[in-house]
Structure 1
Amino acid sequence: MAMQPATMMAAHVHGPGDVRLDPIAVPLPGPGEVLVRVAACGICGSDLGYIAKGSLDGVHPLLHPLPIGHEFAGTVVAVGSGVDGVATGSRVAVNPDRAYIGGGGPDGAMAPYIRVGAAKMGDTLFPLPDHVSFADAALAEPLSVALHGLRMVCATAADSVAILGAGPIGLCTVALLHHMGARRIAIFDRVDSRLERARALGASLAVNVTTEPLSAALGRWHGAGNRFGAPFVGTDVFVDAAGSGPALAEAIGHAKKGARLAVIALHKAPLPIDLFRLMANEITLAGAIADDRPREFAEALAMIAENGAALAPLISHSYPFDCFAEALAMAADADKAAKVMLTFPEGAA
């Protein structure tokens, strides 16, 4: 196996709207760590948010440049002391949670090589079957985010589900529900091309809310009724993957008795909630942040291995790492892009 280079280019956020490829040393794995040669890394909406805000939250300024990239897969090329059961040459997808990879930790995967701490198969590292591509394997991270949200509200194949937002996480939610056997899946967005992808992934109803309100569409698709003088729709589960305050408020305002709502999206502002409706209809409202998900990560990878071809609509574009700026621009174009994937040829630095 070729020896890795001494230096490489890595993506860092330096301030609001300021992201750069900086030359840094290729890290060496210490105790409990491995070095992974990155083959594919997806661009997440949170990456674009970090760049726009210039930090993790847009409030606290950076003390040092922020490495980004957390949806990735590649090959183990070096193993530190104390790591058992991991061999060089292993093809792996990486769960970024333990070391906050690309989310405040010291390492990010928008680079040809990355150090992975707490290296353990079945926790941070997951082996890939030979037939699973690195790009498909990198989808395990956003899929596991969506799966965690569905678990928070105990979604089942028998439920009627409404998904707010047809961005990458909303699309992952559709794919998971369809894989589970759910068939009453509705999704809402303002971008027709995203809704077309949702249909291809298994959505039964895909509605542009500029042409029909969410509550009207759900009333005709999942049924409607009236309780305590207020209308409701027959939707069992709502998944907020949009981060739109008005959309979430509309969902809560029309949720039936016993409905469950999962908030996966990043909301940028507080939202007044109709607590009377929440109480009177015994609505469950659950937040979902996937930061401890080895089980869901493994299940997402199993789904990819079983039927990766069905996930093809998720990846809209693929760019080599040396086209980093073009890839970021495409990822920010909601009308054209779903999941944009960065790829790293072997030997890239």
Structure 2
Amino acid sequence: MAPNSMRAAVVTGPGRIEVEHVPMPVPDPGQVRVRIEGCGVCASNLTPWSGPEWMEFPTKPGDLGHEGWGFIDAVGDGVSSVDVGDRVAALSYKSYAEYDIADADAVVKLPAELADAPFPGEPLGCAFNIFRRSDIQAGQTVAIVGIGFLGALLTRLITDAGARVIAISRRDESLQVARDMGAAETVPMDDHQRIIERVKDLTDGRFCERVIEAVGKQWPLDLATELTGERGKLIVAGYHQDGPRQVNMWLWNWRGIDVINAHERDPKAYIAGIREAVDAIASGRLDPSKLYTHRYPLDRLGEALDATRDRPDNFIKALVTF
């Protein structure tokens, strides 16, 4: 490989990836360059990976990767908050590559306690931001519809806050993960009416004060609505990207449900969530290590994306590591 070049993944078409040698990016003033150690694979990648009409190919090198962590190896003018050699989680957007650029205020230092730990900061921060926006109170019953990486993290956070979690998921192994993370009850996500009746029984007919929808599809959203009790909060944490949704406005009105879109768009809020995650994991209050179930090198990114879509046995979260 030539000096000042790097390997980066390029999506060349639906379900097709090539790893190319491209020029290494150079940080502008106020930016840093991160030598990427690893990057989480996000389910939000799956729609672009499938090749919808609006998607343009080929992608820019490293595109779609936004869960990177690694070591700062260069800083732009005016950067004093971090130094070359610092290990950081980065809020950047082309991290399916050996190097990526981030604004200096969009990286979070990782302490020595996390020296050997993977740290996909963006989804870890998302979990803490969703938890905060859900307004969980001790003694409440919270249903989580969909137990993947996000749902598993939320199960632990909510249980630690003194609330009771009812975890709902279609895979037996996901329900076991939920139990391991502290869920009080688990319900197979199979028959719509059966789930409603089970949750009704578990809550003495009141349903749940909080329901977190963490799938991103129409049916789980419909189900989450019906599991939300009067004056409860329905938190939309699933990433809905495959078209418009219909909602049961009659039930929302009748029960007086508050609906919260838990996706942050303010970078400062993202960073605040990542900082919370750093503190919780470094202190031992949260341990996500068993949720990183599959690891791939960069040239097998396509397999990582397929596994994220198909969810083979025991799959929770894929990482691309260098």
Aligned length: 313
Do the aligned partners of residues 90 and 28 (structure 1) sit closer, same or farther apart at CA in structure 2, a change above 3 Å counting? same
| TM score, norm. by length of structure 2 | 0.89
SS of residue paired to 2:216: coil
Q: Which of the numbers 66, 71, 83 marks the counterpart of 1:70?
A: 66
SS of residue paired to 1:9: strand
CA displacement 1:298-321 (0-9 Å, x = unmatched): 111111112277322311122233
- Looking at structure 2, the residues matched to 155 and 24 of structure 1 have their Cα atoms a distance apart, in angstroms, of 46
What residue number does 1:313 align with?
A: 290
RMSD after superposition: 2.2
Letter in 1 for 2:110: L
What residue number does 1:291 align with?
A: 265
- Looking at structure 2, the residues matched to 59 and 156 of structure 1 have their Cα atoms a distance apart, in angstroms, of 43
| TM score, norm. by length of structure 1 | 0.82
Q: Is the 8 A contact 2:296 2:321 kept in 1?
A: yes
Letter in 2 for 1:177: I
- Using the TM superposition, give the Cα deviation of residue 81 of structure 1 relative to its aligned residue in structure 2, in angstroms: 0.6
Letter in 2 for 1:171: A
- Looking at structure 1, the residues matched to 145 and 182 of structure 2 have their Cα atoms a distance apart, in angstroms, of 15
What residue number does 2:245 align with?
A: 271
Q: Is the 8 A contact 2:134 2:210 kept in 1?
A: yes
What residue number does 1:169 align with?
A: 150
- Looking at structure 1, the residues matched to 283 and 203 of structure 2 have their Cα atoms a distance apart, in angstroms, of 30
- Looking at structure 1, the residues matched to 39 and 133 of structure 2 have their Cα atoms a distance apart, in angstroms, of 27
Map 1:118-129 to 2 at 5 A. 118-120=103-105, 124-129=106-111
CA displacement 1:236-270 (0-9 Å, x = unmatched): 10111012322322332342211101111123243
The percent of aligned pairs where both chains have the same amino acid is 28
CA displacement 1:111-160 (0-9 Å, x = unmatched): 111111x212xxx111111121464322x321222222233332234321
Letter in 1 for 2:4: A
Stretch moving more, 63-72 or 181-190: 63-72
- Looking at structure 2, the residues matched to 249 and 309 of structure 1 have their Cα atoms a distance apart, in angstroms, of 31
Q: Is the 8 A contact 2:9 2:299 kept in 1?
A: no
- Looking at structure 2, the residues matched to 112 and 153 of structure 1 have their Cα atoms a distance apart, in angstroms, of 36
Q: Which of the numbers 100, 112, 115 marks the counterpart of 2:101?
A: 115
What residue number does 1:137 align with?
A: 119
SS of residue paired to 2:199: helix
Q: Is the 8 A contact 1:201 1:311 kept in 2?
A: no
Letter in 1 for 2:22: I
Are 1:160 and 2:117 matched, yes or no?
Answer: no
Map 1:85-104 to 2 at 5 A. 85-96=81-92, 101=93
Which ranges in structure 1 are unaligned for 5 or more consecutive residues? 102-107, 225-232, 345-349
Do the aligned partners of residues 147 and 85 (structure 1) sit closer, same or farther apart at CA in structure 2, a change above 3 Å counting? closer
SS of residue paired to 1:70: coil
What residue number does 2:21 align with?
A: 23
- Using the TM superposition, give the Cα deviation of residue 170 of structure 1 relative to its aligned residue in structure 2, in angstroms: 1.6
SS of residue paired to 2:162: coil
- Using the TM superposition, give the Cα deviation of residue 64 of structure 1 relative to its aligned residue in structure 2, in angstroms: 5.3
- Looking at structure 2, the residues matched to 177 and 5 of structure 1 have their Cα atoms a distance apart, in angstroms, of 49
Q: Which of the numbers 322, 327, 344 marks the counterpart of 2:304?
A: 327
- Looking at structure 1, the residues matched to 230 and 141 of structure 2 have their Cα atoms a distance apart, in angstroms, of 14
- Looking at structure 1, the residues matched to 19 and 163 of structure 2 have their Cα atoms a distance apart, in angstroms, of 44
